[in-house]
Amino acid sequence: MSRVAACLRLIATGWALARADALVPREVEPILPPSARLAGRVLRLFAGSAARKGRPGERLARVLEREGPAAIKMGQFLSTRADIFGAAFAEDLSHLKDRLPAFPLEVAKAEVARGLGAPLDTLYARFDASIAAASLAQAHAATLLDGTPVAVKVLRPGVERQVARDSAALRLAASLAERLVPAARRLRPREFVEVVIRALDLELDLRFEAAGCAELGEAMKRDPYMRAPDVVWDGVGKRFLTLTWAPGLALSDPAALEQPGLDRKALAEAVTRGFLAQALDHGLFHADLHEGNLFVSAPVQGEGAAIVAVDYGILGRLGPAERKYLAEILYGFLNRDYPRVAAIHFEAGYVPAHQDRDAFAQALRAVGEPVFGRDASDVSMGRLLAQLFEITALFDMALRPELVLLQKTMVTVEGVARRIDPTHDLWAAADPVVRRWIARELSPAAKVRDFADEAVRAIKALARLAETPAAPTVAVVQPRAAWPLLWFLAGAAVATLAFAAGLFAAGMGST
């Protein structure tokens, strides 16, 4: 898509939003500052008849649905934050998750048969009409030849062209924001947009989604919080994907939370803990956990409600360092240890080194203290996010592109949990998962284990060095002469490990 076409696309989107009075809706005018009120009044001069139909969320949803996959993704994100934008606004956008218009059944069947390279009846005994349709694909209920119920996901026709068009427009918007709005530069709009575009591109090859579902599904089995469907690999291609059927009802269905025996508090905690366990324990997390992708079934035989997550098109990954920083930041907030939280931000490079560490800790305290000890329903998430944004600006904190999916998913997960249980306390729900990670990874026993691993790696490296033939002009230790040194180092490592283990045992015995 050319730059001119991308520019025209942005102008068309802005015009559509203005015509629908969805940029600065008249309904929010009373709470806006004077400059924003003036801008809203000017924009409403261009509003059409659509601006008089429905609530702000309904008008915005109509525009986003017409604008394509990237815009719909943004609407899905906004719909999870009823605590910030209001219940009516979130509900008006909620159909963007899985209730978009479907494309014809025969088109879907033809796409799957083309991917299989064989007629449908070689794999499926039944293939039904669409049961849910989202921005990139739609899902069909089907049955395998052996009677196993499955869901088949099929990409929308021509969606690749739509995503390419949206990507070009997003890149242009980011470039203009960086050039024309100096305050936006620290948010690194270009890098942020590239993360979003990369995620969309990966969603366009359902083979990647199948692999992600299988990988994360294995990790989920180690915790009780949520599960993944099984992949039917014979029914996987670039544009279609077959998974075992997810029992229960999608959380986007109002009836899901009315199932008998459902404990809303426990369910909300499971959603939060499930996400954190994925991110902290496995470094791999489902990065699109909105209500349309979470299926809940009622408790059976004394067990809690079962949560099955679907749609693995977007996965986030965290390296060991990022997981450590995340756990220690959360742990510091849980213990209200703001100096430690500030120190972690500086160690991670999230805050520039020239900033005042004590002042940053003071700013964190100003945000955190009003939240603790209060019912979640009494905490304004909008005000809290505004305060956090002010702090990031005050201390020159730049956006971290590698953390974009994590931050976005954390906000989405809290929004989902708050819709399940309006009194949900994110910090209380996170506590056991974070403390478990800290106890396992930062305890004396963990430090002994890490030291042992380092010692073994050092010994192996020395052994490889000793066995490497010498270059003619370089003097090296000959293999036989090196072995006494290696045995000495190995003995020293073992002695040190024994000493550390003894200290650890003594410490455990005294507790």
What digits encode the pLDDT tens for the residues 104-154?
999 999 999 999 999 999 999 999 999 988 888 999 999 999 999 999 999
**pLDDT given at position 36:** 74
Closest C-alpha to 65, from 40, 26, 104, 98: 98
- Which residues, at least 6 apart from 377, have a Cβ–Cβ distance to it below 8 Å? 422, 423
Tell me, what's the pLDDT at 1? 58
Q: Is the CB of residue 292 less than 8 Å from the CB of residue 252?
A: yes
Q: What is the mean pLDDT of residues 428-440?
A: 90
Tokens of 448: 């002994």
Residue 295: the pLDDT is: 95
| Per-residue model confidence (pLDDT) at position 235 | 97
More confident residue, 299 or 390: 299
Tokens of 111: 């796409």
HSE-CB of 74 using CA atoms within 13 angstroms? 16
* Among the listed residues 313, 393, 323, the one whose alpha carbon sits nearest the alpha carbon of residue 351: 393
What is the residue-averaged pLDDT of the chain?
81
The string of pLDDT tens digits covering residues 64-85 is 888 877 777 777 767 766 656 7
Looking at residue 490, its pLDDT comes to 46
Query: 265 pLDDT exceeds 80?
Result: yes
pLDDT per residue over 280-294, tens digit each? 999 999 988 988 899
10 Å CB burial of residue 472 (0-12, 13-18, 19+) is exposed
Listed ranges 24-28, 351-355, 485-489; the one with the highest mean pLDDT: 351-355
Output the CA–CA distances (angstroms, integers) from residue 481 to 402, 459, 460, 475, 497, in the order listed: 47, 15, 16, 13, 26
For the ranges 243-257, 341-355, 368-382, the lowest mean pLDDT is seen at 368-382
- The fraction of the chain above a pLDDT of 70, given in percent, is 78
pLDDT at 487: 44
Is the per-residue pLDDT at 30 higher than 80? Answer: no
Write out the DSSP string of 199-236. Answer: HHHHHT-HHHHHHHHHHHHHHHTTSSS-B-PPB-GGG-
Active site residues: 288
Torsion of CA 209, 214, 216, 219, to 10 degrees: 180
Residue 511 pLDDT class (50, 70, 90 cuts): very low
Task: Show me where the domains of the chain are located.
Answer: 444-509
Per-residue pLDDT tens over the stretch 224-252: 899 999 999 999 999 999 999 999 999 98
**Structure tokens that stand for 108 in this block:** 């879907």
- Cα separation, 310 vs 210, in Å, equals 11
Q: Given this model, what pLDDT does residue 450 score?
A: 57
**Which one-letter amino acid corresponds to residue 69?**
P
Across residues 263-276, what is the average pLDDT? 94
For residue 465, what are its two tokens? 């060095």
Q: Which of 27-36, 60-69, 342-351: highest mean pLDDT?
A: 342-351
Q: How far apart are CA 448 and CA 450, in angstroms?
A: 5
Q: What percent of the chain has pLDDT over 90?
A: 34
Identify the residue with better confidence: 114 or 23. 114
Residue-level pLDDT at 485: 45
Q: Is pLDDT of 507 > 70?
A: no
What pLDDT shows up at residue 479? 46
Instruction: Taking the CA atoms of 216, 401, 137 and 306 in sequence, report the sign of the dihedral they define.
Output: positive
Beta bridge partners of residue 149, listed in sequence order: 143
The lowest-confidence range among 47-51, 263-267, 477-481 is 477-481
pLDDT of residue 443: 65
For 265-301, the DSSP string reads HHHHHHHHHHHHHIIIIISEEES---GGGEEEE---T
C-alpha 394/C-alpha 213 separation (Å) is 40
Give the pLDDT of residue 500.
Answer: 43
Q: According to the per-residue pLDDT averaged within each range, which of 63-77, 196-210, 299-313, 437-451 is highest?
A: 196-210
